[in-house]
């Protein structure tokens, strides 16, 4: 637990918090529904630096030494940006 590593709580409090998390089942399941996230900032940075659409991704991939498909996996383009969406 990060607050324990930073010395913000003592070991007894850390143990107590872990017991509470376990009792509530939160160590195995999230306490609330978590929707899938998709990266947005990397795609914006690529567009800003290398241009929009697939051509920009090709330039970025060349500059980074990555295959285009790997870059598109890390920062997916949407249908409006040049690649078909997964839906």
What would the pLDDT profile of 59-71 be if each residue is shown by its tens digit? Answer: 999 999 999 999 8
pTM attached to this predicted model: 0.49
Angle between helices 53-64 and 41-50 (to 10 degrees): 90
Nearest to 64 by CA among 36, 45, 80, 83: 45
Domains of the chain: which residue ranges? 1-34, 41-81
Cα maximum dimension of the chain: 56
Q: Which of 5-9, 15-19, 55-59, 71-75 has the lowest mean pLDDT?
A: 71-75
pLDDT at 16 over 70: yes
């Amino acid at each position: 637990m990060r607050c324990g590593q930073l010395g913000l709580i003592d070991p007894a409090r850390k143990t107590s918090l872990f017991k509470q998390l376990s009792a509530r089942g939160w160590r195995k399941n999230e306490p609330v529904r978590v929707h899938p996230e998709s990266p947005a900032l990397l795609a914006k940075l690529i567009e800003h630096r290398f241009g929009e659409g697939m051509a920009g991704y090709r330039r970025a991939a060349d500059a980074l030494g990555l295959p285009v498909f790997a870059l598109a996996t890390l920062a997916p383009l949407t249908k409006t940006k040049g690649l078909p969406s997964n839906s």
